[in-house]
């Protein structure tokens, strides 16, 4: 067992402080404000293994809507496509020699105190989140013990190829993991007001082989925009910026 493997195993099973780095402030106190209390950051994670496709497109629209809420909102879209996030590390399983793990590079970004909201976007895979999304959320075990993400606002959007392909079930499944982190889970704001962003990518007018244009799903995009708005509004409130 090499030193590197030992360290990675430790990061995966416990050791919040080690993952986040010494001196990293925790965000569990709702009264704790970012260093620049005027700005609140919202991260969007696209959990499709396909870069720049429908989930990322929907998330971009969602983040743009969040940003439009207030000048103090900053947004960043992070695509997990192409990154290696081995979920089994959360259970203490050590990586094989040379196996890549990109999660330790993401963890401090997620836990950063200026992050007031996180939006997870996932494709629907057989009525549930993608394996990449599940592995990513399993790795959030490092935040769980000390409730590092408590009171950050969370929202979820799901993109399915079917009109009724399991988007809401998928959203619910992701939300359970977020609630376990003591995050403030919100749905889409009025007038749509349901569980989050529900997107149909499989518009039948799309040419064979082309990437569907999610913006054609007007009803779905309304939920996506309203989700971004709701997350932004609540993130501002939780950070006492309003």
Ligand X SMILES: Cc1cc2nc3c(=O)[nH]c(=O)nc-3n(C[C@H](O)[C@H](O)[C@H](O)COP(=O)(O)O)c2cc1C
Q: Which residues of the shown chain bind ligand X in the complex (CB under 6 A)? A: 48, 50, 53-55, 123-127, 159-162, 165-166, 201
Nearer to ligand X, 172 or 237 (CB): 172
CB of 162 to ligand X, least distance (A): 3
In the complex, residue closest to ligand X by CB: 165
- Nearer of residues 129 and 153 to ligand X, judged by Cβ: 129
Instruction: Report which secondary-structure segment, H or E, holds 4.
Output: helix 3-13
Q: How far is the CB of 48 from ligand X (least distance, A)?
A: 3
Least distance from ligand X to the Cβ atom of residue 85, Å: 16
Instruction: Give min distance, CB of 136 to ligand X, in A.
Output: 14
Q: Which residues of 157-191 are buried (b: 16+ CB within 10 A; e: fewer)?
A: bbbbeeeebbbbebbebbbebbeebbbbbbbbbee
**Measured over all CA atoms, what is the biggest interatomic distance in the chain, rounded to whole angstroms?**
56
Q: Measured from the CB atom, is 40 or 201 closer to ligand X?
A: 201
The smaller minimum CB distance to ligand X, of residues 55 and 173, is found at 55
Nearer to ligand X, 9 or 161 (CB): 161
DSSP string, 95-160: PPTT----HHHHHHHHH-TTEEEEEEEEE-BTTB--HHHHHHHHHTHHHHTTTTTTT-EEEEEEEE
At 218, list the tokens: 């007007």
């Amino acid at each position: 067992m090499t030193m590197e493997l030992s360290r990675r195993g430790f990061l995966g099973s416990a050791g919040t402080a080690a993952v986040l780095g010494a001196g990293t402030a925790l965000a569990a106190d709702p009264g704790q404000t970012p260093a620049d209390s005027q700005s609140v950051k919202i991260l969007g994670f696209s959990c499709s293994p396909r870069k720049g496709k429908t989930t990322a497109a929907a998330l971009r629209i969602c983040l743009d809507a969040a940003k439009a809420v207030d000048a103090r909102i900053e947004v960043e879209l992070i695509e997990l496509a192409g990154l290696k996030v081995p979920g089994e590390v959360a259970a203490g399983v050590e990586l094989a020699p040379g196996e890549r793990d990109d999660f330790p590079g993401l963890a401090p970004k997620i836990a950063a105190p200026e992050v007031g909201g996180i939006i997870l976007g996932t494709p629907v895979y057989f009525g549930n989140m993608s394996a990449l999304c599940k592995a990513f959320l399993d790795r959030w075990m490092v935040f769980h013990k000390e409730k590092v993400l408590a009171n950050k606002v969370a929202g979820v959007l799901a993109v399915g190829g079917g009109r009724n392909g399991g988007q809401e079930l998928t959203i619910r499944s992701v939300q359970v993991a977020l609630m376990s982190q003591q995050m403030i889970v919100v749905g889409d704001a009025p007038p749509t007001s349901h569980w989050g962003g529900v997107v149909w990518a499989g518009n039948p007018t799309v040419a064979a082989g082309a990437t569907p244009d999610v913006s054609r799903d007007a009803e779905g995009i309304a939920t996506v925009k309203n989700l971004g708005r709701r997350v932004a509004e609540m993130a501002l409130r939780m950070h006492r910026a309003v």
